[in-house]
């Protein structure tokens, strides 16, 4: 996926390019998963879309440097909402992220990340 | 930051999403397989072809068009199209006197069931701010010159409502079937940054 041009580092020109290449809806697999988690939790009724949208708007307002940061905003909004609702406290998420970042040694099923 | 040696270190957000997904799965709040299907659906299946069907029907069936403009949500559902971000649809009609443009100034609201997920530029700060302050200039950058005597209406999808543009049917299509017409209708024409022309082809846009 990551080649010479890192989609996450793309910066908008001040002027809107007329025929900017759209590309696929998601530029990296994690963006698609973050999208899916937010939609799926809403569809299951754990929160309303408005609740998610309010947090997304707040994140976007703080990070005008889109679109590189768009899905980062999306993820931040999702994390905050899930923490506020008590589904996944921030500390729990941080701990699990840390765990995943640390490669397992001998014997452990080394992360077969797809 | 990362101390992995063998593989390229996975990006922080990728790890966080992975962790989130794992925790939610363990708690029984999401089903990873259902998530696969959901993502695949939005990535590949839901798209502007749905909106094109709606527009083509409106072009050939005046009674349908009337229903569509009166109540977008139910008229679109008649064609079996509905879902998240399409619960409260308003369809706005382009005419020789009025050109419509849709935007979400605050984030990225967009009628998913009819148009799929928004293009990257739709979510960009320049488009979100300038579509409102300088719609004519934005359209010009998209290659669309709107004459001064045509009113431009900008619809900000920031409430519950999601908008979609009903573009004008181009001249020279009088003998075309509904299916042939649908092939001409592009996503951009339903956002309002393009017109439908005889050589615009829906196939060239994802």
Is residue A88 assigned to a domain? yes
Nearest chain A residue to B47 by CA: give it.
A25
Is residue A9 assigned to a domain? no
Is residue A27 assigned to a domain? no
Which structural domain, as residue segments, surrounds residue A78?
Answer: 48-98
Is residue A71 assigned to a domain? yes
pLDDT score for B126: 86
What single DSSP character describes residue A11?
A: B
The CA distance from B175 to the nearest CA of chain A, in Å, is: 31
Dist CA B97 CA B136 (whole Å): 14
In whole numbers, what is the pLDDT of chain B averaged over residues? 90
Is residue A75 assigned to a domain? yes
Dist CA A75 CA A59 (whole Å): 9
The CA distance from A43 to the nearest CA of chain B, in Å, is: 8
> CB–CB of B20/A37 below 8 Å?
yes
Report the predicted TM-score, pTM, of the whole model to 2 decimal places.
0.83
Dist CA A30 CA B17 (whole Å): 6
Integer angstrom CA distances of residue B60 from A18, B70, B80, B173, B191 = 32, 17, 18, 11, 21
Condensed to tens digits (0 to 9), the pLDDT of residues B158-175 reads: 668 999 999 999 999 999
Q: For residue B109, what pLDDT band results from cuts at 50, 70 and 90?
A: very high
Domains plus CATH for chain B?
12-44 (no CATH), 47-204 (3.90.330.10)
Half-sphere exposure of B59 (CA within 13 A, CB side): 29
Q: Is the pLDDT confidence value at B205 over 70?
A: no
Q: Is the pLDDT confidence value at B199 over 90?
A: no
Is residue A67 assigned to a domain? yes
* Mean pLDDT calculated for residue range A84-102: 95
pLDDT score for B125: 85
Domains in chain A: how many in total?
1
Is residue A3 assigned to a domain? no
- Probe site for chain B from A9, A21, A25 (most B CB atoms < 10 A): A25
> CB–CB of B125/B137 below 8 Å?
no
Dist CA A73 CA B79 (whole Å): 34
Condensed to tens digits (0 to 9), the pLDDT of residues B27-50 reads: 999 999 999 999 999 988 889 999
Question: B53 burial class (0-12, 13-18, 19+ CB within 10 angstroms)?
Answer: buried
ipTM: 0.85
Is residue A38 assigned to a domain? no
Geometric angle at alpha carbon A48, from A47 and A50, rounded to 5°: 130
Residue B177 tokens, joined? 């079937």
* Mean pLDDT calculated for residue range B98-117: 94
- Probe site for chain B from A3, A44, A49, A101 (most B CB atoms < 10 A): A101
């Amino acid at each position: 996926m990551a080649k010479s041009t890192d989609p996450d580092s793309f910066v908008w020109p001040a002027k809107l390019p007329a025929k900017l290449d759209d590309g696929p809806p998601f530029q990296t697999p994690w963006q698609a998963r973050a999208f899916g988690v937010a939609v799926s939790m809403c569809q299951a009724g754990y929160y309303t879309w408005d609740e998610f949208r309010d947090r997304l708007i707040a994140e976007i307002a703080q990070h005008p440097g889109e679109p590189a940061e768009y899905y980062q905003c999306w993820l931040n909004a999702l994390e905050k909402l899930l923490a506020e609702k008590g589904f996944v406290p921030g500390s729990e998420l941080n701990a699990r992220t840390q765990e995943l970042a640390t490669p397992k040694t001998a014997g452990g099923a080394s992360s077969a990340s797809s | 930051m990362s101390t992995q040696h063998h593989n390229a270190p996975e990006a922080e957000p990728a790890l966080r999403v992975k962790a989130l997904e794992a925790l939610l799965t363990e708690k029984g709040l999401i089903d990873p397989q259902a998530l696969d299907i959901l993502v695949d659906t939005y990535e590949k299946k839901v798209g502007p072809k749905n909106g094109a069907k709606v527009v083509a029907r409106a072009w050939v069936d005046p009674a349908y068009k009337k229903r569509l403009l009166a109540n977008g949500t139910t008229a679109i559902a008649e064609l079996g199209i509905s879902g998240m971000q399409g619960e409260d649809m308003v369809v706005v009609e382009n005419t020789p006197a009025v050109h419509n443009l849709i935007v979400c100034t605050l984030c990225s609201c967009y009628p998913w069931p009819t148009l799929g997920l928004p293009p990257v530029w739709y979510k960009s700060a320049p488009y979100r701010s300038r579509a409102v302050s300088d719609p004519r200039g934005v359209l010009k950058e998209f290659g669309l010159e709107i004459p001064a005597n045509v009113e431009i209406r900008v619809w900000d999808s920031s409430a519950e409502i999601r908008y979609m543009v009903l573009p004008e049917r181009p001249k020279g299509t009088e003998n075309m079937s509904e299916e042939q017409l649908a092939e001409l209708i592009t996503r951009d024409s339903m956002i309002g940054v393009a017109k439908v022309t005889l050589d615009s082809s829906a196939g060239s846009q994802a």
